[in-house]
Amino acid sequence: MKTVEDLKRMREQFQSQTKLRHAGGIQIIVGMGTCGIAAGAREVMSAILDEIAKRKLQDVTVRQTGCIGMCEKEVLVDVVRPDEPRITYGKVTPAAVSKIIGEHVVNGRIVEELVVGKISQ
């Protein structure tokens, strides 16, 4: 970093990366309780962040939560699209992440074979 422009580019880059975890219209919530972590939640979280970066999605918030009591269904991933029911996917693997992001987050089509819960608002 040698100029003010370099500093501005760095700030924009870090703000974009931070936005993936803290702001946006669509929310993706990963169960990161001990049961989730034991089932592979860290790898799923990494796959989600990689897929969002690969697709250059801007309006998506990724966050984590603790155990919600369905340990046998871990890794649990919720997708919340504005004005749509909250969909909980179960037994999510890193390999399934691309399908969930592509079908549900991008195109609004629920991946029925992985759904374990639906909460209407």
pLDDT value at 8 more than 70: yes
pLDDT value at 110 more than 60: yes
pLDDT tens-digit series, residues 73-95:
999 999 999 889 999 999 999 99
108: left (phi over 0), alpha (psi -120 to 50) or beta: left
- Nearest alpha-carbon partner for 55 in 101, 103, 90: 101
Output the average pLDDT for the chain: 90
pLDDT tens-digit series, residues 28-67:
999 999 999 999 999 999 999 999 999 999 889 999 999 9
Residues listed for the chain? 121
pLDDT value at 106 more than 90: yes
4 pLDDT tier (thresholds 50, 70, 90): confident
